[in-house]
């Protein structure tokens, strides 16, 4: 940051030297806005990401974590995955940012500045689990099209903002409202201004939950640009694509929102189970809502070698979409026997839960520690891949780490 500030100042003053005058409107250049030419080409520095994050795609940016990077109870920015559908917007001015509430089912179309939102509505902070619908896609066979996420497209950060419900109710919701759909300022990859990279949403019941926020802070600070500055919709427990970034408009719809990536096969799975590789018609695909139960062992990092007779402490997180996790187990014999982990209650609804266990190994050799969560409806993670689907969503198979005992 400091280095970049220095470069910015140095470059601004060299502009001044060059043209013999102050850079016209130089003083009006926004705080925190770095001219594009000065941006660091290294994405790990540009987005302040940990060096062990894995870049899947650089246009658009898609970067995932590894299990051991997610050990913190509240995920820091450095280890949060990035999933973008379009190009990160440039030159955002928070002072002129406007959020508009419109749509067929709004009583009064209304616009709010960021200051309006912050001053008019009460603030709330929640830890919210956001997992990409395609997390785990890389394991499907036959392979599914798209970014090949392994296990790291999930995080649970602390989000602060106003309740979407309070804002929607301020504008007024007609009784025929069905869904909300968001719109944002990111650009389509083709640069076609008519196209939105993504415009998703959720049913009114999800939009009106206490924890569904229009957030302006993440982990107590301004949301980083790549995660949606200055305003992000955050709907924990649902595919993270519902949590739109750079939001400038929310439409209250009288039908299921039909924006980009709401229709066809995007973020949808077959309504009825299909065999691997089977073709599924668009009309037989249903929108994903709550994400399934899942867990990650975040300590130790896979590949640990320990001495015989020593016990191993494992820990991690478990989450279950709209539900809670009420049982957490581990196995060192490929599921023949399971032992219970200790587990904490969530910090709030839709936050992931932390588990730990002390693992003893009977003899030396190669082991895998498998973790399995069960939700409050009694559904557990499968050890094998769950039902194949054309786009490779919802892989909640058990996570495991390799351990050698010497």
Partner 1 sequence: MNNEESFRGQIMKLYRLLMLLFVLFVISGGGLVYYMNNPGFFDFKSNSDTIVEVPIEEDEDRIENGIHVRTGFIEADGMMTVINNCTNCHSAKIVTQNRMNTERWNATIKWMQETQNLWDLGGNQEVIVNYLVTNYPPKSKGRRMNLSDIDWYELDE
Query: Which of 144, 123, 125, 122 minimizes the C-alpha distance to 134?
Result: 144
**Residue 3: exposed, middle, or buried by beta-carbon count in 10 A (0-12, 13-18, 19+)?**
exposed
Smallest distance from partner 1 to CB 373, Å: 17
Q: How far is CA 148 from CA 13, 53, 144, 145, 236, in A?
A: 45, 14, 8, 8, 22
Nearer to partner 1, 143 or 273 (CB): 143
21 is a site residue for partner 1 (CB under 8 A) = yes
19 is a site residue for partner 1 (CB under 8 A) = yes
Out of 90, 141, 278, 284, name the contact with partner 1 by CB under 8 A. 141
Q: How far apart are CA 218 and CA 226, in angstroms?
A: 12
Distance of CA 313 to the CA centre of its chain: 28
Footprint (CB under 8 A) of partner 1, residues 176-195: 189-190, 192, 195
- Segment lying near partner 1 (by CB under 8 A), choices 1-9, 19-27, 176-184, 323-331: 19-27
Smallest distance from partner 1 to CB 17, Å: 10
Nearer to partner 1, 72 or 139 (CB): 139
Q: How far apart are CA 378 and CA 234, in angstroms?
A: 27
Nearer to partner 1, 93 or 364 (CB): 364
Footprint (CB under 8 A) of partner 1, residues 55-94: 55-60
Q: How far apart are CA 266 and CA 391, in angstroms?
A: 7
Nearer to partner 1, 7 or 55 (CB): 55
Give me 222's structure tokens: 């301004």
152 is a site residue for partner 1 (CB under 8 A) = no
116 is a site residue for partner 1 (CB under 8 A) = no
Q: What is the dihedral of CA 73, 77, 79, 80, to 10 degrees?
A: 90
385 is a site residue for partner 1 (CB under 8 A) = yes
Residues that bind partner 1 (CB under 8 A): 18-21, 55-60, 139-143, 145-148, 189-190, 192, 195, 300-306, 310, 312-313, 368, 383-385, 397, 400-402, 404
């Amino acid at each position: 940051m400091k280095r970049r500030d220095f470069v910015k100042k140095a470059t601004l003053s060299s502009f001044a030297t060059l043209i013999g005058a102050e850079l016209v409107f130089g003083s009006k250049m926004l705080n925190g806005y770095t001219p594009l030419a000065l941006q660091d080409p290294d994405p790990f520095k540009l987005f302040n990401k940990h060096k062990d994050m894995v870049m899947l795609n650089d246009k658009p940016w898609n970067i995932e974590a590894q299990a051991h990077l997610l050990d913190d109870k509240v995920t820091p920015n450095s280890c949060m995955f990035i999933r973008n559908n379009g190009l990160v917007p440039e030159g955002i001015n928070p002072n002129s940012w406007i959020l508009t509430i419109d749509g067929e089912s709004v009583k009064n179309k209304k616009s709010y500045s960021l200051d309006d939102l912050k001053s008019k509505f009460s603030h709330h902070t929640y830890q919210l689990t956001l997992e990409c619908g395609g997390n785990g896609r890389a394991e499907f066979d036959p392979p599914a099209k798209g970014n090949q996420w392994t296990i790291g497209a999930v995080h649970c950060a602390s989000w602060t903002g106003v309740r979407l419900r309070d804002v929607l109710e301020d504008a007024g919701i007609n009784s025929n409202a069905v869904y909300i759909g968001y719109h944002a300022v990111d650009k389509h990859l083709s640069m076609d201004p008519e196209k939105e990279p993504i415009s998703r949403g959720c049913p009114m019941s999800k939009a009106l939950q206490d924890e569904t926020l229009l957030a302006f802070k993440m982990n107590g600070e301004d949301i980083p640009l790549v995660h949606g500055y200055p305003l992000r919709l955050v709907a924990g427990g649902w595919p993270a694509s519902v949590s739109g970034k750079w939001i400038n408009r929310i439409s209250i719809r009288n039908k299921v929102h039909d924006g980009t990536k709401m229709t066809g096969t995007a973020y949808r799975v077959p309504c009825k189970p299909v065999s691997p590789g089977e073709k599924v018609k668009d009309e037989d695909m249903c929108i994903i809502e709550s994400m399934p139960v899942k867990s990650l062992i975040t300590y130790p990092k896979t590949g640990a070698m320990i001495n015989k007779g020593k016990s191993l402490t494992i820990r991690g997180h478990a989450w279950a979409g709209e539900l809670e996790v009420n049982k957490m187990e581990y196995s060192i014999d490929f599921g023949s026997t399971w032992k219970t982990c200790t587990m904490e209650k969530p910090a709030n609804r839709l936050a992931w839960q932390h588990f730990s266990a002390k693992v003893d190994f009977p003899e030396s050799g190669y082991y895998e520690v498998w973790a399995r969560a069960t939700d409050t409806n009694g559904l557990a993670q499968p050890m094998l891949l769950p039902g194949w689907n054309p786009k490779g969503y919802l892989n909640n198979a058990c996570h495991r780490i390799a351990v050698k005992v010497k």
